Amino acid sequence: MRHKTFLWFFLPTGLAMLLFIAMPIVSVVTQSIFAPHPAVLIEVESCTPLVGCTTETTVDQEATATLRAENPMGRFVGLGIYFDRGHLAVQEIGQIWASNESWGGFFSELGNLPFYRAMAFTLTFTFIVTPLTILLGLVIALAVNSLHRHLKGLMIFFSLLPMIVTPLIGSLILFWMIDSRGVIGNALVNLAGDPDFSLKASTGLMWVALMVYGVWSSAPFAFVVFYAGLQTLPKDQIEAAQIDGATRWQQVKFVVVPHLMPLVTFVALIQLMDNFKVFEPIIGFSAGAHAQSLSTFIFNDLGGETRQLSSAAATSVITIIGIAILLSPVLVRTWRDFKGAR
């Protein structure tokens, strides 16, 4: 395609991307390097029903309005918010590093900083759930594909159910099932033989529950993609393999999987992105005490009585960078394939 033709062809998409993707990112980055002005505080008498009047501190609105009018963007803080304790905690890491001789002590104190604790969970979640999702999706696709054609429609519908259920609702259903009075929770109590046994009170088991949910809710997506891929599998290749005496396992390993490889890359890309932003199960399971992710930080920043816009913006930018790093191997490979193809 000639460059000029390509340009005209791409222009509408390019404009939309600029407006809906690039501009918001610019806005978030800007927000993250500015913070609200220092508050001008004054003491006033405040009166409350049933209590009476007390002296309280409040924000001097006139003085603050003047500050805002002078500099509407706020106070420039550069990367200050990125480095504070709520985010990368550079200073705190320095102190922990200086005060610890051993790696064990260093890591246990590192786990006390919210960002690194959230990263520990998020990365574990991402790297366990993504491969399991792909594997389970492939197994379901192969199983459904080998069914009699009368049964296929029904099985496809049932396999897709977890994707049809709204994520938050799905996680809430599982949450009540694993409650110590729920079906699964009660069974576990009987199995463990301890009336005080509670899945929700244990960090390790809560992580397992979150990951089970993660695989359960996204396996249908992998299944649908692989199932579609299986329909394009050339019959003659399979027949050739069968004539060569390949077992079913060998057929899958040497013919089916290589054929589906581009789709595996695609599903891996999408799942890495989704799992890194893990959010619904943590909210649905009320798992805040055991697991946090960057997305729940943003939610907490914006959901409190005092909205912390700059902090939320900084976490968003860190999320974008994190996903870019996660995806870089796959993206580099795609770029190489593209170069090679030319």
Binding to another protein (CB under 8 A) within 60-89 occurs at 61, 64-65, 75, 77, 81, 84-86
Q: Which is nearer to another protein, 89 or 138 (CB)?
A: 89
Contact of 34 with 76, CB cutoff 8 Å: yes
Residue 304 binding another protein, by CB under 8 A: yes
Q: Which of 3, 8, 45, 340 binds another protein (CB under 8 A)?
A: 45
Residue 192 binding another protein, by CB under 8 A: no
What whole-number distance in Å separates Cα of residue 149 and Cα of residue 156?
11
- Of 11-19, 145-153, 191-199, 247-255, which segment contacts another protein by CB under 8 A? 191-199
What whole-number distance in Å separates Cα of residue 9 and Cα of residue 218?
34
CB atoms under 10 Å from CB of 230, counted, come to 18
Q: Which is nearer to another protein, 84 or 177 (CB)?
A: 84
Residue 95 binding another protein, by CB under 8 A: no
Give me the least distance between CB of 113 and another protein, in Å please: 9
- Of 14-22, 166-174, 198-206, 325-333, which segment contacts another protein by CB under 8 A? 198-206
Helical ranges in 71-194 per DSSP H: 80-83, 90-99, 103-110, 114-145, 149-164, 167-178, 183-192
Which residue's entry shows tokens 């603050």?
64
Angle between helices 203-231 and 149-164 (to 10 degrees): 140
C-alpha triplet 209, 223, 121: angle, nearest 5°: 30
Contact of 125 with 210, CB cutoff 8 Å: yes
Give me the least distance between CB of 175 and another protein, in Å please: 8
- Of 99-107, 196-204, 217-225, 265-273, which segment contacts another protein by CB under 8 A? 196-204
Q: Give how far Cα 158 sits from Cα of 161, 164, 166, 269, Å.
A: 5, 10, 15, 25
Q: Which of 39, 73, 169, 324 binds another protein (CB under 8 A)?
A: 39
Which residues of the chain form contacts with another protein (CB under 8 A)?
A: 35-39, 41-51, 53-54, 56-59, 61, 64-65, 75, 77, 81, 84-86, 92, 112, 114, 175, 179-180, 195-198, 200-201, 203, 285-290, 300, 302-308, 310-311
